[in-house]
Structure 1
Amino acid sequence: MSSTDESIRTLLLLMPRLVGRAKRAKIPDELAGMNLAPRHLSLFAYLLFDGPLGVNELAERLEVTPATVSLMVGELSRKGILERREDPADRRRAIITLADAHREAIDNWLARGARAWRVALEPLTDEQRKLFVQTLRAYEDAI
Structure 2
Amino acid sequence: MSTPSGGPAVDEAVRTLLLLMPRIVGRVKRLPIPAALQGFDLAPRHLALLAHLEYDGPVTVSELAARLEVAPTTVSLMVSDLAKLGVLERTADPADRRRRIVAIAPAFAAPIAEWLSGSASAWERVMRDLAPAERATVVGALRAYEAALEEGLTDRS
**TM tier, smaller:** over 0.9
Match of 2:124 in 1: 118
Task: Name the CA distance, whole Å, in 2 between partners of 1:50 and 1:124.
Answer: 24
Match of 1:66 in 2: 72
Match of 1:9 in 2: 15
Task: Name the CA distance, whole Å, in 2 between partners of 1:34 and 1:132.
Answer: 32
Task: Name the CA distance, whole Å, in 1 between partners of 2:118 and 2:30.
Answer: 12
Kindly report which structure 2 residues correspond to 1:1-143, keeping only aligned pairs within 5 A, or say none: 3-143=9-149
Q: Verify the 8 A CA contact 1:84 1:95 in the aligned structure 2.
A: yes
| TM-score, structure 1 as length reference | 0.93
Q: Verify the 8 A CA contact 1:87 1:93 in the aligned structure 2.
A: yes
Task: Name the CA distance, whole Å, in 1 between partners of 2:115 and 2:80.
Answer: 21
Please list every run of 5 or more consecutive structure 1 residues that lacks an aligned counterpart in the other structure: none
Q: Verify the 8 A CA contact 1:53 1:97 in the aligned structure 2.
A: yes
Letter in 2 for 1:54: T
RMSD (Å), alpha carbons: 1.4
Q: Verify the 8 A CA contact 1:55 1:94 in the aligned structure 2.
A: yes
1:45-79 Cα deviation digits (max 9, x unpaired): 11111111000011111111111111111110111
Task: Name the CA distance, whole Å, in 2 between partners of 1:134 and 1:68.
Answer: 25
Report how many aligned residue pairs link the two structures: 143
1:13-35 Cα deviation digits (max 9, x unpaired): 11122122222322111111122
Say which SS state the counterpart of residue 76 (structure 1) adopts. helix
1:130 deviates by 1.3
Task: Name the CA distance, whole Å, in 2 between partners of 1:32 and 1:132.
Answer: 32
1:87 deviates by 1.3
Letter in 2 for 1:8: V
Instruction: Answer with 1 or 2: which has the greater Rg.
Output: 2
Greater shift in the superposed pair: 48-57 or 25-34: 25-34
Task: Name the CA distance, whole Å, in 2 between partners of 1:69 and 1:39.
Answer: 9
1:115 deviates by 1.0
